[in-house]
Amino acid sequence: MTVPLPKQAFPGRILEVTLPAAEGGTPVVVGGQNALPFAREGEKPNPVAIGMEVGTGSGEIPPSLARALGGREKDPVSLARACEGEWGARFLFLSLSGCHPDNGAQPVAAGAKVVRDILAAVRCPVIVGGCGDEEIDAKLFPAAAEAAARPVFLSYADEKNYRLVGGAALAYGHGVVSWSPIDINMAKQINLLLSDIGVPPERILIDPLTGGLGYGLEYTYSIVERIRLAGLSGDAMLARPILCHLGDAWKAREAVDASEPSWGDPDVRGPRWEEATGWACLAAGADLLVFRHPANVASFRGTSWR
C-alpha cells in the first residue's frame, strides 16, 4: 500500500519580473513559479525578495524600531545605505511620506531630490512610493519618475491615478506597483487598465494592501491566496508577483505599547509582530516583502526554502 504524493499541476505560471539594479548591483528577479509556496512539486526559480522601507516623514516611529535603526531614521540616505550594506535588504521601498502635509510637508522638489540621492547611494533595486495625498502625489510621481536616473518601480497605481503613474513610468522606463484594496476583481481591473495604456506586463507588481497582524491580516492572507490561485489557474492579469508591505504591522497597539508588562518586552514583541505578519504573507504566496526591522530581514533572508 503506497499513497501517491499529491501532485497539483497548474496550467498557469507567474510572470517573471525583474527589478533592475544599478551597474554592479544585483537585480531582484521574482515570479516564474508554477506552484504554490512550500509545495514540493512544480518549479520555483526565484526566492522571495526581502526589502526594507526607507521613509522620509517627520513623524515619530515606534521606539523599539528607532533603537534597531540606530537613529538613522531621520536621514534617509544613511538609512538606505545601512539597509543595503549592513542589513542585507535586496531592494528598498523609498516612501516619500515626508511630502504629506501631516508628515513634514516637504515640497515635491525635495521628494525628487531624495530619490536622486538614494539612487546615487545604493546599487540595489528601488521602489518609490508616493506620500498618500492624492493631489500632491499627482505632482510627486512625475517628478520622482524624472528624477530617477535609473529604472525604478513607482508605487502605486490605483483606479484613480493609473494613467498618471502608468504614464510617468512609461515616459521614463520605470515599472509600476498596481494597488487594490483587498479586492481581487479590482486587482485584475487595474492590471487591465495599465496594460491598456501600454505598461508592459513584466513591469507590473501587485500590491493587494497588507493589513497588519490583528488588524485585518486575515483579509490580506485570503486575497493573496485567491490572487495566486487565479494566476496559477491561468488568469494572466493576476499571474504577477505579489508585493506585501508590512508597515501596517507597526500600527498595532500590541506591537508597540510598552505599558502592558503582561505582553512582554516591546523590543521583542515589535519585531515579532512584523515577523508574524511576514510569515503569513509568505505562506499565502507573496513574492516580495517589505520590512522595517533589520532583524527580520536577516531571518527571512537566511531561509533558503520556500
Where do contacts with other proteins occur on this chain (CB under 8 A)? 1-6, 8, 36, 38-40, 213-218, 221-222, 225-226, 229, 251, 253-254, 262-266, 268-269, 272-273, 275-276, 279-280, 282-284, 299, 303-306
**Least spacing, CB of residue 248 vs other proteins, in Å:** 11
Half-sphere exposure of 226 (CA within 13 A, CB side): 14
**Least spacing, CB of residue 51 vs other proteins, in Å:** 18
Our CB check for other proteins shows the closer of 62 and 76 to be 62
Our CB check for other proteins shows the closer of 36 and 144 to be 36
- Alpha helices per DSSP H over 48-161: 63-69, 76-85, 108-121, 134-147
Residue carrying the nine cell digits 501517491: 4
**Least spacing, CB of residue 118 vs other proteins, in Å:** 27
Residue 187 contacts residue 238 (beta carbons within 8 Å): yes
Our CB check for other proteins shows the closer of 16 and 254 to be 254
Alpha carbon distance 210, 180 (integer Å): 10
**Least spacing, CB of residue 276 vs other proteins, in Å:** 4
Helix axes 162-172, 134-147, angle to 10 degrees: 10
**Least spacing, CB of residue 270 vs other proteins, in Å:** 9
Our CB check for other proteins shows the closer of 102 and 196 to be 102
**Least spacing, CB of residue 208 vs other proteins, in Å:** 13
Our CB check for other proteins shows the closer of 5 and 23 to be 5
Residue 22 contacts residue 119 (beta carbons within 8 Å): yes
Amino acid identity, position 134? E
Alpha carbon distance 184, 224 (integer Å): 9
Our CB check for other proteins shows the closer of 32 and 132 to be 132
User: What is the number of residues in the chain?
Assistant: 306
The separation between the first and the last C-alpha atoms of the chain, rounded to the nearest angstrom, is: 30
